[in-house]
Structure 1
């Protein structure tokens, strides 16, 4: 009669039984997710920079070869790259499980707003006006009403899917609820983020479905520079800055969080400098670039913020990879005698 194997160590003892191959696959999948999130903005930067240089060399002048902002690529030849990269970044941010509950919540929210940065053009008002001026649907094209209804349908299903994902996340993980219960910075941040999201969704629903017919959908938000596209982009960048802050000040960000990973003291100063660059530094960059080239200061600010976050993500990705390799090496001994395919790995946040 075959002997029943003994129970593997459970969460109460701080260990779980995990097949060695599964542990390696999880680690590789996690690493690939993080590196993908670095490669995507690099792809967008390389494509848009190369196209801008090519235009400058072939048609010129230089100042007209680059758009006024990253979002302006939506109306140009790089539209497919811009939209595809933003949607992919949103998916990675939502799929990633943060080191702390605060980081996870901020990245999930950033992913939510990244979707709308991709779907809502910054030039929607002028696009809709041009389509209305055509009067009728061109051959193989679409009318203003067609575009308006497309936005209505797309946004409806995006919100539904995001709501389902949020429900499943809250149901399967208690990190967010526990962070709110602990109070402090986590609760204040959650309340602020939820209020910003509620205002955004209220404006979005009103202007998309009730403010007028589909042919007059413009999503101008509060008017002027406070368009819904700009609203989503600014909030997304603020949320990414909070994610960096959670690593720069881990004791405050992870206060009372039992799932938080140990931080690396050697990197705290670097993360603080990156956070400073994303907050105070971006103002200085914006002022300087506006003095040099007034039409491109928004583009410079956006790339500065993305570059700072990508650099932080690169450094943190290498640190996390080193830590997981050490965990894998330390847990190489079999958890169950006679079962070489099973290893006991310390419980970590993946």
Structure 2
């Protein structure tokens, strides 16, 4: 494969990475504009902005981020699998709005809301199953690179299958409960997947640094990604204590979602900087050499 072709692929990879950054910023900017318009009276959660003028941006940004997470190839089979699962869950979060009511009763909901959730989630499950079959066939076509040969690949596949089966059964068997609580269920699993991805990058960077210095990976474990992983866990613990435990933080779900989305954005920016020239950690792509100036070569050539 020529270096120019490889560099074109690298440019596409960079646009995919940058696209997620801009989409997260798009959602944050839209929420900020709406909050300012309401004199900074915030909603109970970022998801609750679905019922404000932010709705088109909220749905579009989540779906676009979901696509890019699925398309992006992670550094390892495990990272790629958890990104794929999180990408799928982003669609569920977008298609099933959070319920603002304290007691959600499906029979009291507008008919078009129930119809939209039923239609959108049905289509998503059908196409997700088709995409899974396509992926399995694609992997079988290249057995030397099958993700199932690695422990991380198998673990992430199990997580993906369980997430899909659990949500599909929830939707098919307990439809009313899914309409009321499917958003929250998918959001929790989405953030869990992202948390795992950040942790895997902490271990991956430690491996890379260990290989460069001929030392043990554990000596490099306290790196920027592992600090980010710990910070996300600390944010969850702090907000839960201040929110539902002590009731000292109003709208705690808003602050928790905001903290985790911001930290994910910071992680993605940091990883983009690290991997700007190497789509796979430790395997940099060199830019193509500039074309030779044939006119200058002819000018320097002595006459016959």
TM-score, reference length from structure 2: 0.78
2:49 is matched with 73
CA distance in 2, matches of 1:33, 1:267: 28
Deviations 1:207-249 (A, max 9, x none): 33xxxxxxxx56257xxxxx21101000000001111111111
Q: Tell me, which stretches of 5 or more residues in structure 1 are unaligned?
A: 1-16, 57-61, 132-143, 209-216, 222-226, 255-262, 335-350
Q: Distance in 1 between matches of 2:206 and 2:228?
A: 17
> Which of 193, 199, 221 is the equivalent residue of 1:239?
193
Tell me, yes or no, if the aligned pair for 2:114 and 2:179 is still in contact at 8 Å.
Answer: no
CA apart distance, 1:168:
1.8
Across the aligned residues of Structure 1 and Structure 2, the Cα RMSD in angstroms comes to 3.2
**Quick check: 1:99 aligned with 2:75?**
yes
Q: How many residues align?
A: 273
From 327, 337, 342, the counterpart of 2:285: 327
Q: Provide, for residues 94-128 of structure 1, a one-character-per-residue CA deviation record: whole Å limited to 9, x for no partner.
A: 11111110111000000111100000011184686
Return the alpha-carbon distance in structure 2 between the equivalents of residues 311 and 266 of structure 1. Answer: 20
Higher RCO, Cα 8 Å, sep 6+: 1
What's the TM-score once normalised by structure 1's chain length? Answer: 0.68
Gaps of 5+ in 2: 209-216, 292-304
Preserved CA contact (<8 Å) 1:102 1:253: no
Alignment of 1:9-48 (within 5 A): 17-18=1-2, 20=4, 22-48=5-31
Query: Cα 1:85–1:293, aligned 2, differ >3 Å: closer, same or farther?
Result: farther
**1:309 correspondence with 2:267:** no
Distance 2:163 2:61 in 1: 24
2:66, 2:91 within 8 Å by CA — same for their partners in 1? yes
Which range is displaced more, 66-75 or 196-205?
A: 196-205
* 1:6 alignment partner in structure 2: none
1-side partners of 2:207 and 2:70: how far apart? 19
Matches within 5 A, 1:1-350: 17-18=1-2, 20=4, 22-56=5-39, 62=40, 65-123=41-99, 125=104, 129-131=108-110, 144=111, 146-173=112-139, 178-183=146-151, 186-208=153-175, 217=176, 219=178, 227-250=181-204, 269-288=223-242, 294-323=249-278, 327-329=285-287, 332=289
Q: 1:294 to 1:159 in 2, by over 3 A?
A: same
Query: 1:312/1:251 Cα in 2 relative to 1: closer, same or farther (>3 Å)?
Result: closer
- Measured against aligned partners, the alpha-carbon deviations of 1:130-159 in whole angstroms (never above 9, x if no partner) come to 53xxxxxxxxxxxx1x44333323222211
